[in-house]
Structure 1
Amino acid sequence: MKREIKFRAYSSHNHKMYPVSNIEWDIDDHIWVTADDGKNGIELIDEEANLMQYTGLHDKNGRAIYEGDILRVTTGEDGESYVATVKWFGDEDYPAFDLEGIPAAWNYDANALATIFQSGVETCEVIGNIFEDKQLLEGKQ
């Protein structure tokens, strides 16, 4: 099985999201990210480049879902929904993409993101990302 591995980067300097074409580390462990602004490649260095990995999933509109995306999850049964963030939990001894900020009323026995896509009962829609659309997370429980 072939899995597509790709990244995007948010530039904290330019305040823009870019698709990534290359990632390199130098001998001093500095990260160098080559991104595409649509005209020419630009270089992002260290903390300026906030990298987000593609999950391999697409939302109900066919849009690629990345780490850091804000999703609206809606049930097909009653149309109720909530907003949560896609997060990589590898740093917390849970090597998987999953959702962070799921309201307590919504209970999943296992990985919520996997359960949503396997069950087909709920749908996901990318409504923003944590860098450009933080206001979408305001007022959440």
Structure 2
Amino acid sequence: MKREIRFRGKDVFSGKWAYGDLAHNQKITREGLEPRVMVAGYEVDPETVGQFTGLHDKNGTEIYEDDVLMSCCGFPGLEVFAWVRYKDGAFILTEGERDYGFLPSRINLEMTVAGNIHDNKELIDKIKQVCNEKRTD
């Protein structure tokens, strides 16, 4: 089986996303050697590194770990938000404290990438708000 294994991470110098292979190595500093994480030859913030899931949303956009996905469920004003995490050897969708299980391969028919948790922290707040509203219903 051949599949594409690719990562993304935010460049520590420019703040732009880098896409490609993941490498862990060391850089030389005045204090000695320090570990660093690189994607496609760029030093990236390790907290922002996410793996490509191999899936695309309904618009053909690649879905990465830490992306926030949105579905309108066919009803105007009714939006469902969830984000992609890697847990127990699989990519899953999660909403707040609730896990939906494996990231379904039919995601491309229903959901779109609304952003990610690193660039769009307000989406996580929206997910938590929607989740709390469901609990009070």
The question of a shared fold, defined as TM-score above 0.5 by the shorter chain, is answered with yes
Superposition deviation, residue 112 in structure 1:
4.5
Q: Does 1:58 align with 2:56?
A: yes
Partner of 2:30: none
CA RMSD, 1 decimal: 3.3
Superposition TM-score, scaled by structure 2 size: 0.69
Identical pairs, percent: 31
After superposition, residues 66-77 of structure 1 pair within 5 angstroms as: 66-75=64-73
Paired residues of 1:33 and 1:49 also in contact (CA < 8 A):
no
Q: 1:22, 1:48 → 2: CA distance? A: 10
Q: Which runs of 5+ in 1 are unaligned?
A: 36-40
CA drift at 1:72: 0.3
Distance 1:22 1:112, change over 3 A: closer
Q: Pairwise mapping of residues 60-99 of structure 1 onto structure 2 (< 5 A)?
A: 60-75=58-73, 80-89=78-87, 94-99=88-93
Amino acid at match of 1:117: R
2:135 alignment partner in structure 1: none
Classify 1:102/1:124 alpha carbon distance in 2 versus 1 (closer, same or farther; 3 Å).
farther
1:133 and 2:120 correspond = yes
Q: Could you tell me which runs of 5 or more consecutive residues in structure 2 were left unpaired when the two chains were aligned.
A: 27-32, 132-137
TM-score by length of 1: 0.67
Which residue matches 1:38? none
Deviations 1:120-139 (A, max 9, x none): 8x611001011111112223
- Match of 2:95, as an amino acid? G
CA distance in 1, matches of 2:52, 2:73: 24
- Whether 1:101 and 2:95 are equivalent positions in the alignment is yes
Q: Could you say if the C-alpha distance between residues 113 and 48 of structure 1 is closer, same or farther in structure 2, counting changes exceeding 3 Å?
A: closer
**How many residue pairs end up in the alignment?**
122
